[in-house]
Amino acid sequence: MELKIENLNYKADGKKILKNISVNIPSKKMVGILGPNGAGKSTLLKHLYKNIPVKNKIFLNSKDIFEIPQKEYFRITGVLSQFNGELDTRLCAEDIVYMGRYPHKKIWQDYNKHDAEIVEAALTRTGMLWAKKRNFFSLSGGERQRIITAKVFASEPEVIILDEPDNHLDIKYKMEFMKMFAEFNGTVILSMHDLNLCVKYCDEAVLLKEGEIYRAGKPKEIITEENLKSVYGVNFKILFEPEFIVYI
Protein backbone atom coordinates (compact mmCIF):
# COMPACT_ATOMS: atom_id res chain seq x y z
CA MET A 1 0.00 0.00 0.00
CA GLU A 2 1.63 3.23 -1.18
CA LEU A 3 0.62 6.47 0.52
CA LYS A 4 1.11 9.80 -1.23
CA ILE A 5 0.68 13.32 0.15
CA GLU A 6 0.45 16.19 -2.33
CA ASN A 7 0.86 19.84 -1.34
CA LEU A 8 -0.91 19.52 2.01
CA ASN A 9 -1.49 22.76 3.92
CA TYR A 10 -3.32 23.26 7.20
CA LYS A 11 -4.15 26.35 9.20
CA ALA A 12 -5.65 26.58 12.72
CA ASP A 13 -6.60 29.78 14.55
CA GLY A 14 -4.99 31.79 11.79
CA LYS A 15 -1.65 30.01 12.15
CA LYS A 16 -0.13 27.82 9.45
CA ILE A 17 0.56 24.42 10.99
CA LEU A 18 1.47 22.48 7.84
CA LYS A 19 2.97 24.10 4.74
CA ASN A 20 3.22 22.48 1.32
CA ILE A 21 3.76 18.94 2.58
CA SER A 22 4.46 16.57 -0.32
CA VAL A 23 5.91 13.12 0.26
CA ASN A 24 5.59 9.54 -0.99
CA ILE A 25 5.46 6.77 1.61
CA PRO A 26 6.61 3.59 -0.16
CA SER A 27 4.84 0.28 0.37
CA LYS A 28 6.16 -2.00 3.12
CA LYS A 29 8.63 0.56 4.43
CA MET A 30 9.01 2.06 7.91
CA VAL A 31 9.06 5.86 7.82
CA GLY A 32 9.92 8.04 10.82
CA ILE A 33 8.49 11.56 11.12
CA LEU A 34 10.94 13.68 13.12
CA GLY A 35 11.03 17.22 14.45
CA PRO A 36 10.71 19.23 17.66
CA ASN A 37 7.44 19.74 19.50
CA GLY A 38 5.21 22.02 17.46
CA ALA A 39 6.79 21.05 14.13
CA GLY A 40 3.52 19.51 12.90
CA LYS A 41 4.17 15.79 13.37
CA SER A 42 0.92 14.93 15.16
CA THR A 43 -1.12 17.23 12.93
CA LEU A 44 0.24 15.48 9.86
CA LEU A 45 -0.69 12.09 11.26
CA LYS A 46 -4.18 13.30 12.18
CA HIS A 47 -4.72 13.97 8.49
CA LEU A 48 -3.58 10.44 7.66
CA TYR A 49 -6.06 8.84 10.05
CA LYS A 50 -8.84 11.14 8.84
CA ASN A 51 -9.33 13.24 11.96
CA ILE A 52 -8.84 16.39 9.87
CA PRO A 53 -10.80 16.27 6.59
CA VAL A 54 -9.10 17.39 3.40
CA LYS A 55 -9.84 16.64 -0.25
CA ASN A 56 -7.47 15.49 -2.99
CA LYS A 57 -4.32 15.77 -0.90
CA ILE A 58 -3.74 12.29 0.54
CA PHE A 59 -3.91 9.16 -1.60
CA LEU A 60 -3.74 5.47 -0.76
CA ASN A 61 -2.88 3.46 -3.87
CA SER A 62 -3.86 6.54 -5.93
CA LYS A 63 -7.30 6.89 -4.28
CA ASP A 64 -8.23 9.90 -2.13
CA ILE A 65 -8.47 8.51 1.41
CA PHE A 66 -11.58 10.61 2.08
CA GLU A 67 -13.37 8.77 -0.73
CA ILE A 68 -12.67 5.43 0.95
CA PRO A 69 -15.52 4.43 3.32
CA GLN A 70 -14.51 4.72 6.97
CA LYS A 71 -14.83 1.04 7.81
CA GLU A 72 -12.96 -0.04 4.70
CA TYR A 73 -10.17 2.47 5.40
CA PHE A 74 -9.69 1.13 8.92
CA ARG A 75 -9.57 -2.45 7.66
CA ILE A 76 -6.51 -1.31 5.72
CA THR A 77 -5.09 1.19 8.21
CA GLY A 78 -4.32 0.65 11.89
CA VAL A 79 -3.85 3.70 14.12
CA LEU A 80 -2.04 4.09 17.42
CA SER A 81 -2.55 7.67 18.54
CA GLN A 82 -1.57 9.31 21.81
CA PHE A 83 -3.93 7.78 24.37
CA ASN A 84 -6.60 10.21 25.58
CA GLY A 85 -8.30 8.06 28.23
CA GLU A 86 -11.78 8.22 26.67
CA LEU A 87 -12.68 4.59 27.34
CA ASP A 88 -15.10 2.79 29.64
CA THR A 89 -13.20 2.31 32.89
CA ARG A 90 -14.73 -1.18 33.32
CA LEU A 91 -13.03 -2.61 30.23
CA CYS A 92 -10.40 -5.31 30.57
CA ALA A 93 -7.33 -5.43 28.34
CA GLU A 94 -8.81 -8.13 26.12
CA ASP A 95 -11.91 -5.97 25.46
CA ILE A 96 -9.66 -3.23 24.09
CA VAL A 97 -7.88 -5.61 21.74
CA TYR A 98 -11.18 -7.00 20.45
CA MET A 99 -12.00 -3.46 19.26
CA GLY A 100 -9.39 -4.04 16.58
CA ARG A 101 -11.70 -6.61 15.01
CA TYR A 102 -14.55 -4.11 14.55
CA PRO A 103 -13.68 -3.11 10.94
CA HIS A 104 -13.94 -6.77 9.93
CA LYS A 105 -17.41 -7.36 11.38
CA LYS A 106 -20.93 -6.66 10.21
CA ILE A 107 -22.98 -4.69 12.71
CA TRP A 108 -24.96 -7.81 13.65
CA GLN A 109 -22.01 -10.20 13.86
CA ASP A 110 -20.59 -11.50 17.13
CA TYR A 111 -16.93 -12.27 17.63
CA ASN A 112 -16.04 -15.85 16.75
CA LYS A 113 -13.21 -18.35 17.23
CA HIS A 114 -11.19 -16.76 14.42
CA ASP A 115 -11.42 -13.36 16.14
CA ALA A 116 -10.38 -14.91 19.46
CA GLU A 117 -7.31 -16.51 17.85
CA ILE A 118 -6.26 -13.19 16.29
CA VAL A 119 -6.74 -11.33 19.59
CA GLU A 120 -4.71 -13.93 21.48
CA ALA A 121 -1.94 -13.77 18.85
CA ALA A 122 -1.86 -9.96 19.11
CA LEU A 123 -1.60 -10.09 22.90
CA THR A 124 1.17 -12.68 22.63
CA ARG A 125 3.02 -10.60 20.05
CA THR A 126 3.07 -7.61 22.39
CA GLY A 127 3.94 -9.65 25.48
CA MET A 128 0.62 -8.88 27.18
CA LEU A 129 -1.24 -12.20 27.11
CA TRP A 130 -0.81 -12.44 30.89
CA ALA A 131 -2.89 -9.28 31.32
CA LYS A 132 -5.84 -10.07 29.07
CA LYS A 133 -8.36 -10.24 31.94
CA ARG A 134 -6.85 -7.33 33.87
CA ASN A 135 -8.71 -4.03 34.03
CA PHE A 136 -7.16 -1.81 31.39
CA PHE A 137 -6.85 1.16 33.74
CA SER A 138 -5.09 -0.92 36.40
CA LEU A 139 -2.12 -1.31 34.05
CA SER A 140 0.88 1.00 33.85
CA GLY A 141 1.21 3.55 31.06
CA GLY A 142 3.65 1.33 29.18
CA GLU A 143 1.42 -1.74 29.56
CA ARG A 144 -1.58 0.20 28.27
CA GLN A 145 0.47 1.29 25.29
CA ARG A 146 1.19 -2.36 24.54
CA ILE A 147 -2.49 -3.25 24.79
CA ILE A 148 -3.41 -0.48 22.35
CA THR A 149 -0.64 -1.80 20.10
CA ALA A 150 -2.15 -5.29 20.30
CA LYS A 151 -5.47 -3.75 19.22
CA VAL A 152 -3.73 -2.33 16.15
CA PHE A 153 -2.24 -5.72 15.26
CA ALA A 154 -5.63 -7.40 15.82
CA SER A 155 -7.11 -5.25 13.05
CA GLU A 156 -4.73 -6.96 10.56
CA PRO A 157 -3.88 -3.71 8.75
CA GLU A 158 -1.65 -3.19 5.73
CA VAL A 159 -0.64 0.28 6.94
CA ILE A 160 0.06 1.28 10.55
CA ILE A 161 0.15 4.92 11.67
CA LEU A 162 1.73 5.63 15.06
CA ASP A 163 1.83 8.92 16.96
CA GLU A 164 4.82 8.79 19.33
CA PRO A 165 4.35 5.09 20.08
CA ASP A 166 7.30 4.95 22.47
CA ASN A 167 5.58 7.24 25.00
CA HIS A 168 5.62 5.68 28.50
CA LEU A 169 8.21 3.06 27.48
CA ASP A 170 11.66 2.64 28.98
CA ILE A 171 14.73 2.14 26.79
CA LYS A 172 14.49 -1.67 26.69
CA TYR A 173 10.84 -1.66 25.68
CA LYS A 174 11.36 1.14 23.17
CA MET A 175 13.81 -1.08 21.32
CA GLU A 176 11.50 -4.10 21.52
CA PHE A 177 8.63 -1.93 20.32
CA MET A 178 10.54 -0.62 17.32
CA LYS A 179 11.78 -4.10 16.43
CA MET A 180 8.20 -5.36 16.54
CA PHE A 181 7.06 -2.78 14.00
CA ALA A 182 10.19 -3.16 11.86
CA GLU A 183 9.24 -6.84 11.46
CA PHE A 184 5.66 -5.97 10.47
CA ASN A 185 5.00 -6.99 6.86
CA GLY A 186 3.42 -3.70 5.80
CA THR A 187 3.84 0.06 5.76
CA VAL A 188 4.59 1.84 9.04
CA ILE A 189 4.47 5.62 9.52
CA LEU A 190 5.37 6.95 12.94
CA SER A 191 6.17 10.24 14.62
CA MET A 192 9.07 9.94 17.01
CA HIS A 193 11.70 11.80 19.01
CA ASP A 194 14.42 9.17 19.38
CA LEU A 195 16.94 9.79 16.59
CA ASN A 196 18.94 6.65 17.37
CA LEU A 197 15.92 4.39 16.99
CA CYS A 198 14.99 6.13 13.75
CA VAL A 199 18.43 5.42 12.29
CA LYS A 200 18.43 1.82 13.51
CA TYR A 201 14.93 0.79 12.43
CA CYS A 202 13.45 3.19 9.86
CA ASP A 203 13.91 2.82 6.11
CA GLU A 204 13.10 6.48 5.46
CA ALA A 205 12.74 9.64 7.54
CA VAL A 206 11.02 13.00 7.17
CA LEU A 207 12.45 15.90 9.18
CA LEU A 208 9.91 18.66 9.88
CA LYS A 209 10.70 22.24 10.81
CA GLU A 210 7.93 24.74 11.57
CA GLY A 211 5.35 22.78 9.59
CA GLU A 212 7.50 22.21 6.50
CA ILE A 213 9.57 19.31 5.27
CA TYR A 214 13.14 20.37 5.94
CA ARG A 215 14.71 17.15 4.68
CA ALA A 216 13.47 13.71 3.60
CA GLY A 217 15.43 10.58 2.74
CA LYS A 218 17.46 7.82 4.33
CA PRO A 219 17.87 8.46 8.07
CA LYS A 220 21.68 8.37 8.03
CA GLU A 221 21.72 10.86 5.16
CA ILE A 222 19.40 13.49 6.63
CA ILE A 223 20.14 13.17 10.35
CA THR A 224 23.34 15.20 10.33
CA GLU A 225 24.82 17.62 12.84
CA GLU A 226 24.09 20.54 10.52
CA ASN A 227 20.46 19.56 9.88
CA LEU A 228 19.77 18.82 13.54
CA LYS A 229 21.16 22.16 14.65
CA SER A 230 18.97 23.96 12.11
CA VAL A 231 15.81 22.07 13.11
CA TYR A 232 16.24 21.71 16.89
CA GLY A 233 18.32 24.82 17.56
CA VAL A 234 20.97 23.01 19.59
CA ASN A 235 24.35 21.48 18.83
CA PHE A 236 24.62 17.73 18.29
CA LYS A 237 27.68 15.51 18.12
CA ILE A 238 27.34 12.29 16.16
CA LEU A 239 29.37 9.35 17.44
CA PHE A 240 29.56 6.29 15.22
CA GLU A 241 29.33 2.96 17.03
CA PRO A 242 28.97 -0.60 15.64
CA GLU A 243 25.31 -0.93 16.61
CA PHE A 244 24.10 2.66 16.93
CA ILE A 245 24.80 6.19 15.93
CA VAL A 246 24.72 8.18 19.16
CA TYR A 247 23.52 11.79 19.16
CA ILE A 248 24.57 14.11 21.98
**CATH number of the domain bearing residue 58:** 3.40.50.300
What contacts 108, CB < 8 A, 6 or more positions away? none
Please list the residues that pair with 15 across neighbouring strands: 12
Through-space distance between the first and last CA atoms of the chain, rounded to whole angstroms: 36
Q: pLDDT tens-digit profile of 9-18? A: 999 998 999 9
pLDDT for position 4? 96
Helix (H) or strand (E) run with residue 69 in it: none
What residues make up the domain containing 138? 3-247
Residues 6+ apart with CB under 8 A from 140: 168
Q: What angle do CA 83, 22, 222 make, to 5 degrees?
A: 80
The burial class, CB within 10 Å (0-12 / 13-18 / 19+), for 237 is exposed
Quick: pLDDT tens for 56-112: 999 999 999 999 999 999 999 999 875 545 677 889 999 999 999 999 988 888 999
> Percentage of residues in the chain with pLDDT exceeding 70?
94
Q: Can you count the helices (H) and strands (E) in the chain?
A: 9, 12
pLDDT, position 82: 59
- If one counts the domains in the chain, the total is 1
Is the pTM value of this prediction over 0.85? yes
Write down the pLDDT at residue 212: 98
